[in-house]
Amino acid sequence: MADEDRQLSVIVVGSGLAGLAAARILREKHQVTVYERGEPSTATGGQGIANFPNAIKIMRQMGFDPDRTGSVLIQGFRTLDKHGNLIFDTEFPFQEKYGAPAMSHMRVDFRTELLRLATAPSKELGIGGEPAKIVFNNGAKDVDGEAGQVTLDDGTKVKADVIIAGEDCPKPKKSGLTCCRVAVSANQAIEALGHLPNWWQEQKTGDRRIMVFEARDGSDRIMVVYGLRHTSYMNMSCIFATRQEKQSTTNSWFAEGDRQEMLDIFHDFDPSLVTLLGVATEVKLWELQDIEPLDTWTKGRAILIGDAAHAMTPLQGQGANAGIEDAEAFRLLMQPGVTRKDIPSILKRIESVRKPRATAVLNNTRKTSRGISGEERYRVMDENCTYDGIIKALESQKAH
Q: What is the pLDDT of residue 2?
A: 47
Kindly tell me if the per-residue pLDDT of 272 is higher than 50.
yes
* pTM of the predicted model as reported, rounded to 2 decimal places: 0.93
Beta bridge partners, 181, equal 237, 284
Kindly tell me if the per-residue pLDDT of 4 is higher than 90.
no
Q: Give the model confidence (pLDDT) of 176-187 as tens digits.
A: 899 998 999 999
Q: What is the pLDDT of residue 197?
A: 96
Lowest mean pLDDT segment, chosen from 124-138, 144-158, 367-381: 367-381
End-to-end CA distance of the chain: 38
Q: What is the pLDDT of residue 76?
A: 92
pLDDT band at 256 (very low <50, low <70, confident <90, very high): low
pLDDT band at 368 (very low <50, low <70, confident <90, very high): confident
Q: Give the model confidence (pLDDT) of 23-81 as tens digits.
A: 999 999 999 999 999 988 755 556 899 999 999 999 999 999 999 999 999 999 999 99
What single letter denotes the amino acid at residue 195?
A: H
If we measure between CA atoms, which residue out of 315, 265, 266 comes closest to residue 289? 315
Q: What is the pLDDT of residue 164?
A: 98
Q: What is the pLDDT of residue 374?
A: 58
336-357: b (≥16 Cβ within 10 Å) or e = eebeeebbbebbebbbebbbeb
Q: Select the more confidently predicted residue: 138 or 375.
A: 138
Q: Are 124 and 130 in contact (CB under 8 A)?
A: no
Q: Report the percent of the chain where pLDDT is more than 90.
A: 74
Kindly tell me if the per-residue pLDDT of 249 is higher than 50.
no
Kindly tell me if the per-residue pLDDT of 253 is higher than 50.
no
Kindly tell me if the per-residue pLDDT of 252 is higher than 60.
no
| 312 membership: H or E segment, kind and range | none
Average predicted confidence (pLDDT) for the chain: 90
Q: What is the pLDDT of residue 372?
A: 60
Question: Which residues, including other chains, have CB under 8 Å from residue 247's CB and lie 6 or more apart?
Answer: none
pLDDT band at 1 (very low <50, low <70, confident <90, very high): very low
The arithmetic mean of pLDDT across residues 234-241, rounded, is: 94
Lowest mean pLDDT segment, chosen from 229-238, 247-256, 288-297: 247-256
Q: Are 64 and 117 in contact (CB under 8 A)?
A: yes
Q: Select the more confidently predicted residue: 50 or 245.
A: 50
Question: Which residues, including other chains, have CB under 8 Å from residue 226's CB and lie 6 or more apart?
Answer: 48, 50, 72, 74, 104, 203, 208, 209, 210, 211, 234, 235
φ/ψ of 86, rounded to 5, equals -70, 130
Q: What is the pLDDT of residue 43?
A: 55
Kindly tell me if the per-residue pLDDT of 7 is higher than 70.
yes
Q: What is the pLDDT of residue 373?
A: 61
